[in-house]
C-alpha cells in the first residue's frame, strides 16, 4: 500500500514539474516571442507531454526486487564419465609375401608413347586497311566557272531576263565571260560562291536571286513570269 501511494505522489510531482515548465514556456513565448495564444498553448502542450514522459521514464520506472534466498539453484555435479571398456587385443596379422619376388616375375610396363601435338597453321597477316581518299576541302573563295572570250554565234542571250540582272549587272557578267543562260545554269555551288564574291558592287546577288534556277528554265526554252515582263517591255 505504501509503495502505491509513493508512486502516485512521485507521478503527481513529475507531471506538476512538466506543467510548470509548459506554462513558463508559454508565457515566455507570448511575452518575448510575440506568439499568439494558440501558438504558445500548442508549444506548451508539446513541452508538457515530452518533459512529463522523459521524467516519468527516468524517475518512475520500477526497480528490480530483492532476490529471495534459496532461489538460485545449485548446479548439479557432473556425472562421472562411464568407464570405457578396453578393447580386446587384435590377433597378429599374417606376414605379407615379399614384394620383391612378385616385382621380379612381372615385366615392367612399357612407357606410354606421348603424342606430339600437330603444329597450328600459321594465319596469314591481315592486310592493312587502305587509307581513305582525302576529301578535297571547299575553298572559301570558291571556284571560277568556265568563261568565254566572246559570245557564241547568234549573239549573247538577254541575261536581263533573269530576275536580279539589270543592264549594269549584265555588262559586268559579260566582262567576266558570261554571255549565255546555259553557262549560268551549269554553275556548281563552289562556282556560285566565286561569282557572288566577284560581282563588284553586287556581291551575293547570284544566290539571293536564284540565278541558276532561272537560267536552267530559260536555257531549256521555258519562260519565267519575270522574263515575260521583260519581253513585253514592262521592266526595262
pLDDT, one tens digit per residue, over 4-33 is: 666 778 778 877 887 888 788 888 878 887
Dihedral, CA of residue 210, residue 212, residue 213 and residue 216, to nearest 10: 160
Lookup result for grid cell 581513305? 132
pLDDT, one tens digit per residue, over 143-193 is: 999 999 999 999 999 999 999 999 999 999 999 999 999 999 999 999 999
To the nearest whole percent, how much of the chain has pLDDT over 70?
Answer: 63
pLDDT, one tens digit per residue, over 100-113 is: 344 444 455 555 55
**Lookup: cell for 81:** 564419465
Predicted pLDDT of residue 215: 95
Q: Residue ranges per domain, the chain? A: 2-59, 159-232
Predicted pLDDT of residue 150: 95
Helix, strand, coil % (nearest 5) of the chain? 45, 0, 55
To the nearest whole percent, how much of the chain has pLDDT over 90?
Answer: 36
Q: Compute the average pLDDT of residues 120-140.
A: 50
Q: Compute the average pLDDT of residues 131-143.
A: 56
**Lookup: cell for 102:** 612378385
Q: Compute the average pLDDT of residues 211-231.
A: 94
Q: How confident is the model at residue 73 (pLDDT cuts 50, 70, 90)?
A: very low
Mean pLDDT (the chain, rounded): 74
Contact assessment for residue 160 and residue 167, using Cβ atoms and an 8 Å cutoff = yes
86-95, 179-188, 196-205: which has the minimum mean pLDDT?
86-95
Amino acid at each position: 500500500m505504501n509503495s502505491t501511494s509513493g508512486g502516485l505522489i512521485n507521478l503527481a510531482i513529475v507531471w506538476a514539474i512538466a506543467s510548470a515548465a509548459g506554462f513558463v514556456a508559454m508565457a515566455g513565448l507570448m511575452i518575448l516571442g510575440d506568439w499568439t495564444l494558440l501558438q504558445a498553448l500548442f508549444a506548451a502542450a508539446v513541452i508538457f507531454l515530452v518533459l512529463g514522459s522523459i521524467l516519468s521514464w527516468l524517475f518512475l520506472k520500477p526497480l528490480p526486487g530483492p532476490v529471495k534466498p534459496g532461489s538460485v539453484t545449485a548446479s548439479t555435479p557432473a556425472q562421472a564419465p562411464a568407464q570405457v571398456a578396453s578393447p580386446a587385443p587384435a590377433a597378429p596379422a599374417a606376414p605379407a609375401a615379399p614384394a620383391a619376388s612378385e616385382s621380379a616375375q612381372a615385366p615392367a610396363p612399357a612407357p606410354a608413347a606421348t603424342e606430339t601435338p600437330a603444329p597450328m597453321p600459321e594465319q596469314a597477316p591481315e592486310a592493312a586497311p587502305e587509307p581513305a581518299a582525302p576529301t578535297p576541302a571547299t575553298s572559301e573563295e570558291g571556284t571560277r566557272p568556265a568563261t568565254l572570250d566572246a559570245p557564241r554565234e547568234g549573239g549573247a542571250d538577254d541575261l536581263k531576263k533573269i530576275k536580279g540582272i539589270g543592264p549594269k549587272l549584265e555588262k559586268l557578267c559579260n566582262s567576266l565571260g558570261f554571255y549565255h543562260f546555259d553557262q549560268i545554269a551549269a554553275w556548281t555551288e563552289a562556282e556560285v560562291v566565286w561569282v557572288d564574291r566577284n560581282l563588284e558592287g553586287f556581291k551575293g546577288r547570284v544566290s539571293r536571286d536564284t540565278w541558276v534556277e532561272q537560267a536552267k528554265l530559260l536555257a531549256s526554252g521555258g519562260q519565267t513570269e519575270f522574263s515575260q515582263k521583260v519581253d513585253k517591255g514592262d521592266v526595262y
